[in-house]
Amino acid sequence: MKNYFSLLLTCLVLFSASTKALEIDEKLTIRILDASASKKTVLINRGLEDGLVVGDHAKFFITQGVIARGVVVKASPTRSIWSVYRLISPQEFNKGLVANIKISTSVKLTADSSKAIRALSVPAGSMGEPNDIFPNKAMDKGLADTDEVKALMNEGDSQIQVVETAQNSPQAKRSALHSLEISALISVASLSGTYTDTANDGSFDASNSSMNFTGSIEKYFPTSTSFLKNFSLKLNASRLSQESGFGVNNVVTLTDLGGGVSYYFGQGPHRSNALLYFADANFGISNGTIEIQDNVDTNSSTNTTKSFEGTGTHMSFGVGAKYLVGNQFGAIGKLDYYSNTTSYDVEGSNGDITTDELAYSGPRVMFGLFYRFF
């Protein structure tokens, strides 16, 4: 189990470090691998692994200044296709060019000609970025140049997915997000509590340091425009097995079934290549088994085993962070406070039935991976 835990931690570190999100004004060196005849569509050697996502806007610039501006319309891990809506220096903007891009804010488009931003003439030889852009019709044509995109796809990265320009709208982006998530977590628990012996009117300190495996199905509301877009509902199942003792071996097994709710801060749970911070609360029922094994001499025929079964409840409250890559895969880190109370019916030596209670509570550190679909 230690080897599995070490492997999982290694995977999480590599997984989280493999990509990063690009913020506004961040720069990246790129090479133009291919360009259409009109230069309105280009394929570059940077993609999701470098932090680029569909919808990112950027300025292309070289030593002399800004030469173009475009938006990502397709992306794969190592490649991306850009629609160029502002071409300042076409003689410089060619296949094979090594340049820099600087992430910028998006340009708002409008179908109202009275509000359109009209292009102004650019003096010959000017390398700086003008304060004008092409008319809306020219920009729309560049963004909708699907024939050129398909031509580049045939020559470029086969992993690039076809995405229609209409998906750049906020409503289309929300509908393309996944609403279900499955996750698997491993937790390191350090719990302490008491065992109350009703028959003998006593109590004993109880402790539990163990591994806990938890699986969850989480439901999001990506198409919602209300407060629900930041919330999610969960179904949880977990199993804890702990063995301790010397001479007399105690095995405690707890199985939890329940549900919960999570709240994601900021812009919600669907931002790719970024940390998603959340708080959650979970509750449900528990089934427990306590097995007492007299294992001083494993070869003795007098070894005895006693087993007690009980039921109870559990709850937990915590905070954590997720890192989402490509809208589907991600890693989770979480810290929560867990409490479990389970009652057991114990038969005494005189045949009387008493009810004992086992209560655990304390912090848990949890790590895991998740996958989103539908």
Q: What is the pLDDT along the chain (374 residues), one digit of tens a residue?
A: 445 445 444 454 444 444 456 888 899 999 999 988 889 999 999 988 888 988 899 999 999 999 999 999 998 888 999 999 999 999 999 999 999 999 998 765 554 444 434 333 344 444 444 443 334 444 444 444 455 555 555 544 444 444 444 444 444 455 567 899 999 999 876 666 666 767 667 666 666 567 789 999 999 998 888 899 999 999 999 998 887 654 456 788 999 999 999 999 988 898 888 899 999 999 999 999 988 876 554 555 555 578 889 999 999 999 999 999 878 899 999 999 999 999 998 887 787 888 999 998 999 999 999 999 98
The pLDDT of residue 126 is 41
- At residue 128, the pLDDT reads 42
Instruction: Pick the closest to residue 314 from 336, 338, 350 (CA basis).
Output: 338
Can you read off the two tokens belonging to residue 252?
């405690």
Q: Which of 313, 311, 324 is nearest to 268 (CA)?
A: 324
Write out pLDDT tens, residues 138-163: 444 444 445 555 555 554 444 444 44
Measure the CA–CA gap between 194 and 203, rounded to whole angstroms. Answer: 6
Two structure tokens written together for 321: 């962070």
Please give the pLDDT value at position 192.
66
Question: pLDDT tens across 190-210, in order?
Answer: 666 666 767 667 666 666 567
**Side-chain half-sphere of 41: how many Cα atoms within 13 Å?**
22
Under a CB-based contact definition with an 8 Å cutoff, are residues 129 and 65 in contact? yes
Q: State the pLDDT at residue 190.
A: 64
Contact call for residues 217 and 180 (beta carbons, < 8 A): yes
**Neighbour tally for 69: CB within 10 Å:** 22
Task: Sketch out the chain's domains with CATH numbers.
Answer: 21-168 (2.40.10.340), 175-373 (2.40.160.20)
Q: How many CB atoms lie within 10 A of CB 268?
A: 21
Q: Token pair for residue 191?
A: 């719990």
Which helix (H) or strand (E) covers residue 141, if one does? helix 136-143
DSSP assignments along 41-101, one per residue? EEEES--GGGT--TT-EEEEEETTEEEEEEEEEEE-SS-EEEEEEEES-TTT--TT-EEEE
What pLDDT shows up at residue 304?
A: 59
281-301 per-position pLDDT tens digit? 999 999 999 888 765 545 555
Distance from C-alpha of 287 to C-alpha of 257, rounded to nearest angstrom = 9
b/e string for 223-254 if b means 16 or more Cβ within 10 A? eeeeeebbbbebebebebebeeeeeeeebbeb
